[in-house]
Structure 1
Amino acid sequence: MRVTSRTGFRRSVGSAPAILQLVIAVVAAYSVSHYGLAHAAPITAVTVTLSSLGFARDARPIRVLETALGVTLGITLSELILLGFGQGLWQLGLSLVVTLFVARFISPQPGFAIVAAVQSALVAMLPIAPGGPFTRTIDGLVGGAIALIVTALVPRDASKVALKDARRVLRTFSRIVDDLVIELRRGPDSDIGQVLDEARSTQPLMDQWRTSLDSAIGIASISPWLRRRLPELHRQRRLLTGVDLAVRDLRVVTRRLSVVMRDGAPRHEFADLLSVLVSAVNLLEQSLDDAMVLPLVRQNLILVAVKLNPDETFPDGTLQEDSVVMDLRPLVMDLLTATGLTSAQAQAALPTL
């Protein structure tokens, strides 16, 4: 129970910026509708604001806008049905049917249809607004507009989350390659299959990093306070693109090595190559804080790249071992592009076959 309480406390503290943003947005939306437009109870202004911002990891302005549009769509359709057919049980069902069909037509995202349907149902069940037709639609538009404005002026700094996700991916990458080095040296007792399982489990980490980074870039693009971070975030985007491809390459290499190691013989040559790769990935993590180490990362990767010619470096290698060398080439190339090199520059670092 103590661990659960501690975890919950950390979660609450970590959500403090989002909570502050939500409170400011709700108060602003309510004030505009209630005091500015004289709407007695602007419930939809509040609910649209809360639904649009939420606690989602993906806080990109486009996601906020999509959610606001979905919610406002549900409100508008429900008000149209109320205006034409009145209020009642079958009108509630009709509102939901129309809203869900229209929402699914507009957007492939299931969440879009659900938030639209929730608001449509609320409008169909609540007492008719005293302000007349489409009062709640106007409140919904106010809520959506306030959510976007607050996203820009009171932003959640998603760059810290993206940086944390990037570190987690690179540390996992480094650990997997390090485990691979250990298994290659063990020979008959090796368990490459376990390393392959680790490599296959990395996709959720990549997806989290991509989501948080896209959110950070989207917010920084419209926020005057965070725009200065865009160059750093775009550099991280290049890093993510290269690392994502390299992680996929790593799965291929590990799967190939699991076949090669069936004979039980240790592969010290491959272990030595991959040990240098571990150092390069560790330096790549350091580059998140200091881009000045990127030349050193490239130097380590080039030390591996120049040896990736099976005829010269492994003249006595089997066909399967030669295949591993060939699979290592795109892995190293993608890591080089992660450091900022173009594909042509990375390709030039590899020996000609």
Structure 2
Amino acid sequence: MSSPEPTTQTVSVPTTWRRRLSPRPGLERARSSSLAIVQIVIAATAAFAFAHHVLGHAAPLLAVTVTISSLGLVRDARPLRVLETVIGMIVGILVAELIVLAAGTGWWQLALTLAATMLVARVLSAQPGFAITAAIQSAIVVVLPANVPFLRLIDGVVGGVAALLVTALVPRSPLRAVTREAAEAFAAFDAALTTLVQALRRGDRVRAERGLRRARSLQRPVEAWRQGIDSGAEIARISPLLRRQRAEFERQRRICVQLDLASRNLRVIARRVVYVCDDGAPRPIAAGLLAELGAGARLVAEALTDISYEPAAREAVRVVGARLDPSALAADSSIVDQTLIGALRPLAVDLMVAAGMPGPDASAALPRV
């Protein structure tokens, strides 16, 4: 009897593990943080060189650590945030210097310093990580004492100044990242709106509920976009290299505000779509109008990278808005259908203003009801 031939089994790697083992996420993180790393390296090196070679400090450790901690790898390197962090860490260094000067160094001095520093830091900032960062700086003062009092405080000031100067002179240029966040917010808005259009065309309550869930989740990408705009605008305000981007940040702020309002109105629409789809009847008129508004929103999204799309976006939404007369479009329908079409009117106004039309003109573009 011949022995059975050995068989080979192919071990499949789960998708989640393949994603974890893939180098792409790590490379993407490194790429997105490259400018922040360059900024930190320049600032920390400059702070060390100034404290060591100009001020004559033998080991200006805090000049380096304060710089690194102030800037960080997060994209939100706003001058005000950097300044707040610098002030907090310098306060922590000052508290530690005073305790060392009065009580010397030791285990209980370290405990007292950490407690005092973190209490003061919690008063100054609501961020838990802020207190930890300040405590690290104060611990360095106690653990590594210096012969000259308040020498580390000077190093901390040098590091803070270096961080602020690099924020202005070597900015992280966040416009590209902000525009990417804007695209993500509009993509999420379009996905929610498209799902509601499909629900209206089919009278599908399940799909309508899915659209409502998507509409309710729009606040997160819109808020991320708004925070990015705030950060970028503050950096551009003090950086001579980003002066030309100030107007673009203000334009994106206007669009972001209107998309926020449009998202809120879309949630109102979504709740009504769920209600009207309960009978399973299709609503082609409402679906068509909402789809046309979605096409206008996509033109607004295109205008983020090419402002020449704004006139086309305004006209596309205006044409739809001029037809939003519930009594004319749904004269033979129930009051529920008329209310649904009426709910599209504020959304049209939001999109027209997002495309650059003044608010009064956008409201006047709608028929009187």
Shorter-chain TM-score category? over 0.9
Deviates more, 1:7-16 or 1:240-249: 7-16
CA deviation after TM superposition for structure 1 residue 189, in Å: 6.7
8 Å CA contact 1:57, 1:211 repeated in 2: no
Q: Root-mean-square deviation (CA), in Å?
A: 1.7
Alignment-derived partner of residue 264 in structure 2: 248
Alignment-derived partner of residue 127 in structure 1: 144
Identity among equivalent positions (%) equals 45
CA deviation after TM superposition for structure 1 residue 59, in Å: 1.6
Name the CA distance, whole Å, in 1 between partners of 2:63 and 2:366: 59
SS of the aligned residue for 1:226 comes to helix
Amino acid of the residue matched to residue 165 of structure 2?
Answer: I
* Equivalences for residues 313-328 of structure 1 within 5 A: 313-328=329-344
CA deviation after TM superposition for structure 1 residue 293, in Å: 1.6
Alignment-derived partner of residue 282 in structure 1: 298
Structure 2 residue 79 is matched with structure 1 residue 41: no
8 Å CA contact 1:74, 1:99 repeated in 2: yes
CA deviation after TM superposition for structure 1 residue 190, in Å: 5.0
Deviates more, 1:103-112 or 1:192-201: 103-112
Amino acid of the residue matched to residue 155 of structure 2?
Answer: D
Amino acid of the residue matched to residue 5 of structure 1?
Answer: P
Name the CA distance, whole Å, in 1 between partners of 2:206 and 2:286: 14
Deviates more, 1:155-164 or 1:198-207: 198-207
Amino acid of the residue matched to residue 285 of structure 1?
Answer: A
CA deviation after TM superposition for structure 1 residue 188, in Å: 4.6
* Equivalences for residues 156-305 of structure 1 within 5 A: 156-188=172-204, 190-305=206-321
Alignment-derived partner of residue 143 in structure 1: 159
Name the CA distance, whole Å, in 2 between partners of 1:129 and 1:217: 41
Equivalent of 1:87, from 105, 124, 131? 105
CA deviation after TM superposition for structure 1 residue 108, in Å: 2.9
Amino acid of the residue matched to residue 282 of structure 1?
Answer: R
Alignment-derived partner of residue 66 in structure 1: 84
CA deviation after TM superposition for structure 1 residue 328, in Å: 1.9
**Which protein is bigger by CA-based radius of gyration?**
2
Name the CA distance, whole Å, in 2 between partners of 1:250 and 1:189: 16
Structure 2 residue 98 is matched with structure 1 residue 98: no
Deviations 1:36-91 (A, max 9, x none): 11111111111110011111121211111111111111111111111112112222
Deviations 1:99-152 (A, max 9, x none): 22222222333333232222222322x22113x121111111111110111111
Equivalent of 1:53, from 63, 68, 71? 71
Amino acid of the residue matched to residue 37 of structure 1?
Answer: L
Equivalent of 2:94, from 43, 56, 76? 76
Mind listing any 5+ residue stretches in structure 2 that lack a counterpart?
1-17
8 Å CA contact 2:78, 2:235 repeated in 1: yes
Amino acid of the residue matched to residue 144 of structure 2?
Answer: P
Deviates more, 1:275-284 or 1:109-118: 109-118
TM-score, scaled to structure 2 = 0.90
Q: What count of residue pairs does the alignment treat as equivalent?
A: 351
Deviates more, 1:285-294 or 1:1-10: 1-10
8 Å CA contact 1:280, 1:297 repeated in 2: yes
Deviates more, 1:92-101 or 1:249-258: 92-101
8 Å CA contact 2:314, 2:356 repeated in 1: no
Name the CA distance, whole Å, in 2 between partners of 1:95 and 1:343: 56
8 Å CA contact 1:66, 1:112 repeated in 2: no
8 Å CA contact 1:196, 1:251 repeated in 2: yes
Alignment-derived partner of residue 49 in structure 2: 31
Deviates more, 1:63-72 or 1:314-323: 314-323
Name the CA distance, whole Å, in 1 between partners of 2:43 and 2:245: 24
Name the CA distance, whole Å, in 1 between partners of 2:30 and 2:292: 41
Name the CA distance, whole Å, in 2 between partners of 1:189 and 1:138: 66
Deviates more, 1:95-104 or 1:194-203: 95-104
Amino acid of the residue matched to residue 15 of structure 1?
Answer: S
Amino acid of the residue matched to residue 156 of structure 1?
Answer: R
Name the CA distance, whole Å, in 2 between partners of 1:342 and 1:117: 51
Name the CA distance, whole Å, in 1 between partners of 2:58 and 2:258: 54
Amino acid of the residue matched to residue 109 of structure 2?
Answer: Q
Alignment-derived partner of residue 128 in structure 2: 110
Amino acid of the residue matched to residue 119 of structure 1?
Answer: Q
Name the CA distance, whole Å, in 2 between partners of 1:112 and 1:342: 42
